Structure 1
Amino acid sequence: MLSIKKIINFSVTAFAVTLFFACESNFKEIQKINISEFMASGEADSVNLKYTDSGRIKAILISTKMFDYGTVQYPFTEFPKGIEVTLFDERGKKNFINADYAITFKGTDIIDLQGNVKMTSDGGQFLETEQLYYDQKNEWFFTEKKFKFTDPNKGLSTGEGLDFSKDFKRINFQKVYGLINDTE
């Protein structure tokens, strides 16, 4: 009777080991099924987009690479190699923006510019920061990051956090460390 018990134990152990190794390869396949592929639905090289409204060019966007993730739950467009943007106002004055990276989420009208963001206005104002948001609908820029702002008439300002209109006519500083020469 002892030998039958050993045979049963051996058989059960052998069956369990076989089952374990058989399931191991299937388990890896099942894990792969649950991984969703996060891939761009569109990709473009050497992008040169012109945004027009009522026959007027409002903006020009240039980038060497663009990925469109339009089929994910929260669709967005990414510019991983940076962008150059030229914004035009109603009188034809231009603002120039350069950034190392940009992303825009569809439905928000907000562009997130990151890395060595530099903005120059037609009036000579110059802004440098690490991150800058642009609200396209309201034509308003803002950041909470450190900045360096130079105005040819009002001097140099540094600080953290500011927001301003596209034409630099309205500027709100949060924390300013430099001097502003305000003649008005």
Structure 2
Amino acid sequence: MLLSCENSIKEVQSITSNEKAPERSGKNVEFIFTDSTRIKSRAFALEFLEVKTEDSEYQDFPKGGRITSYDKDGSIAGQIEANYAKHLISDQLWELRNKVVAISDDGKNINTELMFWDQGKGLIYSDQYVRITTDDGQVLEGIGFSSDDKMNKITLKKVTGEVYLNDETEQ
């Protein structure tokens, strides 16, 4: 029996290449991000894959997880949960997808289907539908937002919703 093949060496190498295979993987993992021994944030995930390609290095969290950030005094500054996350290591950028919920230390909730967290710039943002619930129950909706990562300075784009104002005029 005689068999022949018409694949080039490059085709064979691309099929057998480990370029996209995970370097590391794990289940039920916790990552702690520090700066000068101070914990800045923690990430928890059910599943973790670290992938290195010629173009980039990233951490993939296909089953989602939770990121908790901390103030300088160690108190919780905010938390973000999502059903999928990807961390672009060199860019210090998190991509969070599918039922993303961000909660600030003062009780604001941001709900969206896509959110980015730029750790280097201290910025969270999205260009998708977003629903913001304040600590006093007000609901604002819009398409797109940006904020500092503590959610103190939120800019909502294409706003809809109801806002209730207290009339504190003297009688």
In the superposition, the TM-score normalised over structure 1's length comes to: 0.78
- CA displacement 1:97-124 (0-9 Å, x = unmatched): 1101111223211100011001111211
The range that moved more, 137-146 or 65-74, is 65-74
Aligned to 1:39: 21
SS at match of 2:162: coil
Distance 2:108 2:141 in 1: 13
1:1-184 paired onto structure 2 within 5 Å: 25-27=4-6, 31-35=11-15, 36-37=17-18, 38-91=20-73, 92-153=75-136, 155-181=138-164
SS at match of 1:25: coil
Q: How much does 1:61 deviate?
A: 0.6
Whose Rg is larger?
1
Structure 1 pair 106/52, CA: closer, same or farther in 2 (3 Å)?
Answer: closer
AA matched with 2:12 = K
Q: Which has the higher strand share?
A: 2
CA RMSD of aligned residues (A): 2.3
SS at match of 1:178: strand
Q: How many residues align?
A: 162
Distance 1:71 1:174 in 2: 36
Structure 1 pair 79/154, CA: closer, same or farther in 2 (3 Å)?
Answer: same
AA matched with 2:66 = E
Distance 2:116 2:130 in 1: 13
Structure 1 residue ranges, 4+ long, deviating more than 3 angstroms after superposition: 28-34, 180-183
Given that 1:154 and 1:182 are in contact with CA atoms closer than 8 Å, whether structure 2 keeps it comes out as no
Percent pairwise identity:
24
Given that 2:68 and 2:76 are in contact with CA atoms closer than 8 Å, whether structure 1 keeps it comes out as no
Unaligned runs of 5+ in 2: 167-171
Q: Which has the higher helix share?
A: 1
